[in-house]
Amino acid sequence: MNILIVEDNKELAAEVYDFLCNAGYVCKITHTCEDALEEVASNDYDAMLLDLGLPDGDGFEVLQAVRKTKSKMAVIVLTARGELDDRINGLHLGADDYLTKPFALTELSARLFAVIRRMHGFTVNSLSIHGFLLQLQDYKVSYNEVPLSLTKKEFDIFQYLVLNKNRVITRLQLTEHIWGDILEVNSDSNFIDVHVRNLRKKLDKHRSIDWFETVRNVGYRISE
Amino acid sequence: MKIKHQLAIFNALTRLLVILILWLMLPILVENVVYRHINNGLIEKKKKFIDNLNQKEINDFIENADDSTETYSQFSTLHSEFLVLSKVPVKGNDKKTFFSNEFRIIEGEENEYRILQYHFTYENQDYQLEIGSSLSEVNDLTFIIRFFIIIVLVVILLATFLADTVYIEYLLKPFYKIIDTKIRRVNEPEAFDHTPIKAKSRDFRELDLVLNQMMDRIAELFKKEKQFISNVSHELLTPIALLKNKFENLLQNESLDDNAVDKIAGSLKTLDMLKKIINNLLLISRIENNQYEANENINFHEIINDLQSDFQDRMDDREIHFENHMKYDYAFTGNKTLIHILVYNLVTNAIKYNRPNGNINIEDGFEKGRYFISIADSGLGMSEAHLEKIFNRFTRISSDQDGQGLGLAIAESIASFHHIEIKVISKINEGTTFTLLLPEAAKHN
């Protein structure tokens, strides 16, 4: 999977680059609109991460230009402007998803996974971990063909942790993933524990879950 | 009182004053003209008489005069004129000719006459000649003229008053148009109509121009403010994103000891807090800058149901009972995202400040024709002193609570953006009720 990162903050771009390379993507960084357009014209990318505030123009211009030629490329807009009109504008112009800064890298990888899955016609339909099978299209989990009854939130948490397996996921990251970014005023990250506790109970009925760790004071990790 | 009425009344009053003065001066003017005319006539007659003067004629007059008991020697049949000649010794300093108005009785009829008196000496004999001309016709005429003039003036007064009103109205039309289209109906500088208002008076064209210029400056400031907000969010949030990502990557390092992990987790929490404060302050300033559209249909049932299912787990965890007693299907037009945030903040507060095994009650209804929806909890409650401050930014019930104290400040901003009134009733240890009172204009389905 080739991914183009268009971000003018070099350090941030490098951080995203490292993370995505570790996750197995092939990445390239550009810092300006001009370079981005040139890069898109000369190479094939599966996805582009596009910052809006670029030094030589607005990211939307890149998005517009890209959409005229490359319909198969997934575009995730990384925006610091929380403005709704930008979002609506962006949807019309053909961005596939949005992430508002600051975003969690694990959130980015989850969105990227979803967007690319959609782009490729849902060829990846399930994830599996230690015998548990997550069916992505109907939010169902089964263990050895025995279905588990998980709530939507429990499924989301499970999927998020599996997608970012072997990484410590903080409560905040999970909270943001489950409840989103906009309605965040009173979000209390401890509520995530309730859901995780329930999820673990349900999984534990089928097999021991020593691979599903609680990292003290921080969050959770699912190891392969 | 409107300026057009004030101007019309002022004009009418000044005109009335002029007319009054004219009216008072009229007799003097008329008399001057008329008397001069009569005097000239009398002098003419005197001249004729003196020119043709001879002893015989004098004797004729004198004799006749002696015969009669009255001194009128000759008069016209209609008593409009008379002529009297009498022997009178001339006093040295008597003026030779002078005029006076006197009442005379001729053949039993009293009339006012304009009389010329002339003293002269003929063949060593002093005479006094009096020629009179009746004033009764003149007086009648003066009265008629005065009457006629007053009617004409009143008609002119009324006509000009009407004309004034219509013309002033016409002149002031652009003014009201400016007020209506350029000031009253403008809520957003961007929605300002720059087409010049057609006006005959330069003053209004100038006013229009100045208003346009002012609105341009305001629009420019608005634009700058929006730009600033956008820049701030970009410039502040990008470094936060960078730090957050760095810390998150750092956390994956297996060699970290517990102490380091704690510190990193703490830093992430602080960063998250910083992000939330920035985003929420930006949200408030965007709302206050009218950067949101308010044209979506909002269904409160849907919002409450969404929130209930969202928070069911949290409430179950604390054994809080959520009761929805909403009875009305009320349609409201506004910004869905913002209204969702508003209700969200109130409901999450109701959960957060509730006691375990408490209640949350949602009710709705109408108060004086206005729809209201109330969210009541059975929680900690607040003191009077605290109630006053809850909508201020960065106010929290107690310092050990999670959050930034912006939830209700945001709720307040969203409410006032939609012209919704928020009422709070609270009793310590019994609970708090937030009531959203919707504006009257909203329609009811």
Nearest CA to B122 out of B95, B151, B149, B87 is that of: B87
Q: Any chain B CB within 8 A of the CB of A99?
A: no
Write the pLDDT tens digit of every residue in B290-325.
778 888 899 999 999 988 988 887 788 888 999 999
Is the pLDDT assigned to residue B340 strictly greater than 50? yes
Instruction: Please judge whether A172 and B272 are an interchain contact, meaning their C-beta atoms are less than 8 angstroms apart.
Output: yes
Instruction: Please judge whether B410 and A185 are an interchain contact, meaning their C-beta atoms are less than 8 angstroms apart.
Output: yes
Q: Any chain B CB within 8 A of the CB of A128?
A: no
Q: Any chain B CB within 8 A of the CB of A152?
A: no
Give the strand pairing for A140-143 and A126-129: unpaired
Token pair, residue B253, equals 């390092």
pLDDT of the residue at B69: 42
Q: Which of A11, A80, A198 sits opposite B234 (nearest CB)?
A: A80
Nearest CA to A222 out of A172, A160, A180, A178 is that of: A160
In this prediction, residues A33-52 reach a mean pLDDT of 88
Yes or no: say if A62 and A36 are a contact pair by the CB < 8 Å rule.
yes
Q: Any chain B CB within 8 A of the CB of A11?
A: yes
- Count the neighbouring beta carbons within 10 Å of the beta carbon of residue B342: 27
Write the pLDDT tens digit of every residue in A106-163.
889 888 988 888 877 767 778 888 989 988 888 889 998 889 998 888 999 999 999 8
CB contact residues (below 8 A), chain A span 194-223, against chain B: 194-195, 198, 215-219
Q: How many CB pairs under 8 A join A and B?
A: 132
Write the pLDDT tens digit of every residue in B111-146.
888 888 888 887 777 778 888 888 887 788 778 887
Residue A97 Cα distances to A78, A102, A115, B354, angstroms: 9, 15, 8, 37
Q: Any chain B CB within 8 A of the CB of A58?
A: no
- Which DSSP letter does residue B131 get? E
pLDDT of the residue at B94: 57
| Per-residue burial over A7-40, b = 16 or more CB atoms within 10 Å of its CB, e = otherwise | bbbeebbbbbbebbeebebebbbbbebebbbebb
Is the pLDDT assigned to residue B68 strictly greater than 50? no
Q: Give the CATH superfamily of B296-437.
A: Histidine kinase-like ATPase, C-terminal domain (3.30.565.10)
Instruction: Please judge whether B244 and A186 are an interchain contact, meaning their C-beta atoms are less than 8 angstroms apart.
Output: no
A26 Cα to chain B: minimum distance (Å): 18
- Count the neighbouring beta carbons within 10 Å of the beta carbon of residue B117: 21
CATH 3.30.565.10 range(s) for chain B read 296-437
- Of A180 and B296, the one with more pLDDT: B296
Instruction: Please judge whether A216 and B258 are an interchain contact, meaning their C-beta atoms are less than 8 angstroms apart.
Output: yes
pLDDT of the residue at A184: 53
Q: Which residues of A touch B249 (CB under 8 A)?
A: 15, 18-19, 105
Which of B277, B279, B284, B311 to probe by mutation at the A interface, max A CB count within 10 Å?
Answer: B279
Q: Any chain B CB within 8 A of the CB of A12?
A: yes
CATH 1.20.58 range(s) for chain B read 202-288
The ipTM, to two decimals, is 0.80
Yes or no: say if A199 and A139 are a contact pair by the CB < 8 Å rule.
no
pLDDT of the residue at B389: 84
pLDDT of the residue at B36: 87
**What residue of B is the nearest CA neighbor of A217?**
B262
pLDDT of the residue at B187: 66
B142 contact partners, CB below 8 Å, separation of at least 6: B27, B30, B31, B34
Instruction: Please judge whether B246 and A103 are an interchain contact, meaning their C-beta atoms are less than 8 angstroms apart.
Output: no
Instruction: Please judge whether A82 and B283 are an interchain contact, meaning their C-beta atoms are less than 8 angstroms apart.
Output: yes
Which of A9, A175, A181, A185 to probe by mutation at the B interface, max B CB count within 10 Å?
Answer: A185
B15 contact partners, CB below 8 Å, separation of at least 6: B156, B157, B160, B161
Instruction: Please judge whether B317 and A191 are an interchain contact, meaning their C-beta atoms are less than 8 angstroms apart.
Output: yes
pLDDT band (50, 70, 90) for residue B381: confident
Instruction: Please judge whether A168 and B279 are an interchain contact, meaning their C-beta atoms are less than 8 angstroms apart.
Output: no
Token pair, residue B300, equals 């409160």
In terms of Cβ atoms closer than 10 Å to its own Cβ (0-12, 13-18, 19+), residue B267 is middle
CATH code 1.10.357 for B202-288:
no
B287 contact partners, CB below 8 Å, separation of at least 6: B338, B410, B413, B414, B417
User: Residue A48 and residue A16: Cα distance in Å, rounded?
Assistant: 12
Q: Any chain B CB within 8 A of the CB of A136?
A: no
A68 Cα to chain B: minimum distance (Å): 27
Q: Give percent of chain B with pLDDT exceeding 70.
A: 90
Residue B360 Cα distances to B74, B311, B322, B330, B437, angstroms: 122, 12, 5, 21, 19
DSSP per position, chain A: -EEEEE-S-HHHHHHHHHHHHHTT-EEEEE-SHHHHHHHHHHS--SEEEEESEETTEEHHHHHHHHHHH-SS-EEEEEES---HHHHHHHHHHT--EEEESS--HHHHHHHHHHHHHHHTTS---EEEETTEEEETTTTEEEETTEEE---HHHHHHHHHHHHTTTS-EEHHHHHHHHH-SSS-TT--TTHHHHHHHHHHHHHHTTS--TTEEEETTTEEEE--
Write the pLDDT tens digit of every residue in B150-169.
888 889 888 988 888 888 88
Yes or no: say if A180 and A189 are a contact pair by the CB < 8 Å rule.
no
**What residue of B is the nearest CA neighbor of A169?**
B248
φ, ψ of residue A134 in degrees (nearest 5) = -100, 115
C-alpha of A166 from chain center: 16
Which of B238, B281, B284, B349 to probe by mutation at the A interface, max A CB count within 10 Å?
Answer: B238
**What residue of B is the nearest CA neighbor of A188?**
B402
**Under DSSP, is residue B194 helix (H, G, I), strand (E, B) or coil?**
coil
Yes or no: say if A15 and B246 are a contact pair by the CB < 8 Å rule.
yes
CB contact residues (below 8 A), chain A span 173-192, against chain B: 173, 179, 181-188, 191
Instruction: Please judge whether B230 and A81 are an interchain contact, meaning their C-beta atoms are less than 8 angstroms apart.
Output: yes
Mean pLDDT for chain A? 84
pLDDT of the residue at B422: 93
Which long-range CB contacts under 8 A does B85-92 form with residues at least 24 apart?
A: B85/B58, B85/B61, B85/B127, B85/B128, B85/B129, B85/B130, B86/B62, B86/B127, B86/B128, B86/B130, B87/B62, B87/B125, B87/B126, B87/B127, B87/B128, B88/B119, B88/B126, B88/B127, B88/B128, B89/B126, B90/B119, B90/B121, B90/B126
Q: Measure the CA angle with vertex B443, ends B442 and B445; round to 5°.
A: 145
Give the strand pairing for A140-143 and A132-135: antiparallel
Q: Which of A9, A153, A170 sits opposite B268 (nearest CB)?
A: A170
Write the pLDDT tens digit of every residue in B93-108.
555 788 888 888 877 7
Q: Which of A15, A188, A218 sits opposite B261 (nearest CB)?
A: A218
In this prediction, residues A185-210 reach a mean pLDDT of 81
Q: What is the dihedral of CA B314, B316, B320, B322, to 10 degrees?
A: 90
How much is the CA Rg of chain A, to the nearest whole Å? 18
Nearest CA to B112 out of B130, B132, B84, B131 is that of: B132
* Cis before A102 (ω within 30): yes
Write the pLDDT tens digit of every residue in B266-282.
898 888 888 888 888 88
In this prediction, residues B60-87 reach a mean pLDDT of 65
Write the pLDDT tens digit of every residue in B205-251.
888 888 888 888 988 888 888 778 777 777 888 888 899 889 988 88
pLDDT of the residue at B135: 82
**What residue of B is the nearest CA neighbor of A8?**
B238
Q: Which residues of B touch A188 (CB under 8 A)?
A: 352, 402-403
Token pair, residue A182, equals 């906009």
Instruction: Please judge whether B244 and A102 are an interchain contact, meaning their C-beta atoms are less than 8 angstroms apart.
Output: yes
Token pair, residue B57, equals 């004629």
pLDDT band (50, 70, 90) for residue A90: low
DSSP per position, A149-199: ---HHHHHHHHHHHHTTTS-EEHHHHHHHHH-SSS-TT--TTHHHHHHHHH
B370 Cα to chain A: minimum distance (Å): 28
pLDDT of the residue at B322: 93
Give the least confident one: A77-86, A128-137, A149-158, A196-205: A77-86
Which residue blocks in B291-396 are alpha helix, DSSP H?
300-317, 336-352, 384-389
- The structural domains of chain A, ordered by start, are 2-119 (3.40.50.2300), 126-222 (1.10.10.10)
Instruction: Please judge whether A84 and B280 are an interchain contact, meaning their C-beta atoms are less than 8 angstroms apart.
Output: no
B112 contact partners, CB below 8 Å, separation of at least 6: B101, B102, B103, B134, B135, B136, B139
Instruction: Please judge whether B241 and A80 are an interchain contact, meaning their C-beta atoms are less than 8 angstroms apart.
Output: yes
pLDDT of the residue at A103: 87
pLDDT band (50, 70, 90) for residue B423: very high
Highest mean pLDDT among B45-54, B254-263, B309-318: B254-263
Instruction: Please judge whether A102 and B280 are an interchain contact, meaning their C-beta atoms are less than 8 angstroms apart.
Output: no
Say what angle helices A105-119 and A10-22 make with each other, to 10 degrees: 60
**What residue of A is the nearest CA neighbor of B262?**
A217
pLDDT band (50, 70, 90) for residue A172: confident
Yes or no: say if B222 and B189 are a contact pair by the CB < 8 Å rule.
yes
Q: Which residues of A touch B243 (CB under 8 A)?
A: 102
User: Residue B143 and residue B50: Cα distance in Å, rounded?
Assistant: 35
Nearest CA to B8 out of B171, B149, B154 is that of: B171
Q: Which residues of A touch B272 (CB under 8 A)?
A: 172
